[in-house]
């Protein structure tokens, strides 16, 4: 479906025409597409801009999902995607994308603009249990700024006590409540 606010290469305009519109200041890059420079960058726009990358089989997770949910304003340089469907899918070779083939449970997936995205609570858990310092810093900032998402993540961890690196996530999240 063609969006009036998002432009993708070869949908209505070629990549050269879209790039020229960027140089003229009419469009700005967003995800896998372009949007008008004066349009508001909403979670709907962010999610929809990743539709060509995610399709129906993949869900945005970790930093990509945090960006869609509005926890961070800068688009990640590489997008993390995880299998959302029951069948395995062949991951494309793409330098800007990190594919995770473990299935994301349907209860942990929300749909924004027709795109699968991990829920805010699950996204915060994944960031908090990561061994990447940037993911942990983002998790601390988001948990400190949004108590509802932090509580949702803590409840998710309580329901999944044997989840890999759950203790690391719990320690990080409980550390944010004492600040």
Average pLDDT score over residue span 3-13: 86
Per-residue pLDDT at 85: 83
Question: In angstroms, rounded to a whole number, what is the distance separating the alpha carbons of residues 37 and 26?
Answer: 5
Q: Which residues contact 65 (CB under 8 A, 6 or more apart)?
A: 59, 80, 117, 118, 120, 123, 126
Average pLDDT score over residue span 95-119: 92
Q: Are 144 and 176 in contact (CB under 8 A)?
A: yes
Q: Which residues contact 52 (CB under 8 A, 6 or more apart)?
A: 8, 32, 33
For residue 34, is it left (φ>0), alpha (ψ between -120 and 50) or beta? beta
Question: In angstroms, rounded to a whole number, what is the distance separating the alpha carbons of residues 176 and 179?
Answer: 6
Q: With bands split at pLDDT 50, 70 and 90, how would you rate the model's confidence at 95?
A: confident
Per-residue pLDDT at 100: 87
Per-residue pLDDT at 178: 46
Per the structure block, which two tokens stand in for 140? 């601390």
Q: Which residues contact 24 (CB under 8 A, 6 or more apart)?
A: none
Query: Residue 18 phi/psi, 5° resolution?
Result: -65, -40
Could you report the per-residue pLDDT of 116-172, keeping only the tens digit for each?
Answer: 999 999 999 999 999 999 999 999 999 999 999 999 999 999 999 899 999 999 999
3-state secondary structure of 126: helix
Pick from 144, 106, 153: nearest CA to 126: 153
Q: Are 84 and 58 in contact (CB under 8 A)?
A: yes
3-state secondary structure of 33: strand
Could you report the per-residue pLDDT of 46-88, keeping only the tens digit for each?
Answer: 999 999 999 889 999 999 999 999 999 999 999 999 999 888 8
Q: What is the pTM of this model?
A: 0.90
Per-residue pLDDT at 179: 45
């Amino acid at each position: 479906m063609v969006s009036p606010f998002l432009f993708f290469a070869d949908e209505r305009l070629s990549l050269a025409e879209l790039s020229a519109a960027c140089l003229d200041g009419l469009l700005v890059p967003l995800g896998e597409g372009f949007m008008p420079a004066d349009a508001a960058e909403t979670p709907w726009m962010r999610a929809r801009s990743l539709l060509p990358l995610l399709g129906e089989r993949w869900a945005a997770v970790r930093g990509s999902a945090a960006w869609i949910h509005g926890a961070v304003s800068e688009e990640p340089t590489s997008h993390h995607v995880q299998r959302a469907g029951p069948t395995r899918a062949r991951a494309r070779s793409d330098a800007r994308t990190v594919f995770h083939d473990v299935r994301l449970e349907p209860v942990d997936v929300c749909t924004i603009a027709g795109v699968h995205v991990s829920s805010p609570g699950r996204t915060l858990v994944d960031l908090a249990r990561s061994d990447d310092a940037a993911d942990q810093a983002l998790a601390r900032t988001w948990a400190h700024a949004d108590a509802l998402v932090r509580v949702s993540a803590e409840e998710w961890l309580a329901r999944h006590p044997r989840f890999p690196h759950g203790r690391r996530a719990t320690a990080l999240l409980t550390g944010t409540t004492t600040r």
